[in-house]
Amino acid sequence: MTVSQSMYGLMVVTLEPDRVAPAVLSSIDVYRDRKTTGRGPEGKLNLKAQNLAIFLQIADGLDDETWLFHLKNGDIAHWFRDVIKDLELALQAELMGRDDVNAEESRKHIGSEIEQRYILAA
């Protein structure tokens, strides 16, 4: 995003096209019908994240077993790729799911990736 002033004294904001849609996706419920649902390996939970902000809250509160289940099953990467439309974030989730990382480490890494891309960019 660049901010400049026009010759008429108006502030002109130019947004980078590749950052506009993802920033919007992280703050509103654009995909009301395409939420990610968090059910653990035994199907006990039914948590829904409509956007990345809610995803981060849910991820922080999930038990380690459920988090790792979804990470290793590719559910998180799938949601990032197909709903959020962020291929780089999806790749990071896939790589975390392939590695032998613990829940805390992988949550921190993915949370940091989201913050760098969306929260700091917004």
Which pLDDT tens digit goes with each residue over 58-103?
A: 999 999 999 999 999 999 999 999 999 999 999 999 999 987 889 9
Whether the pLDDT of residue 19 is over 60: the answer is no
Residue type for 54, please? Answer: I
Q: What is the pLDDT of residue 91?
A: 95
What does the alpha-carbon distance between residue 48 and residue 55 come to, in Å, rounded to a whole number? 8
pLDDT, averaged across the chain: 74
Which has the closest alpha carbon to 92: 103, 81, 104? Answer: 81
Whether the pLDDT of residue 29 is over 50: the answer is no
What does the alpha-carbon distance between residue 83 and residue 31 come to, in Å, rounded to a whole number? 7
- Global pTM reads 0.64
Q: Which residues pair with 38 in a beta bridge?
A: 47
Whether the pLDDT of residue 38 is over 50: the answer is no
* Better pLDDT: 69 or 15: 69
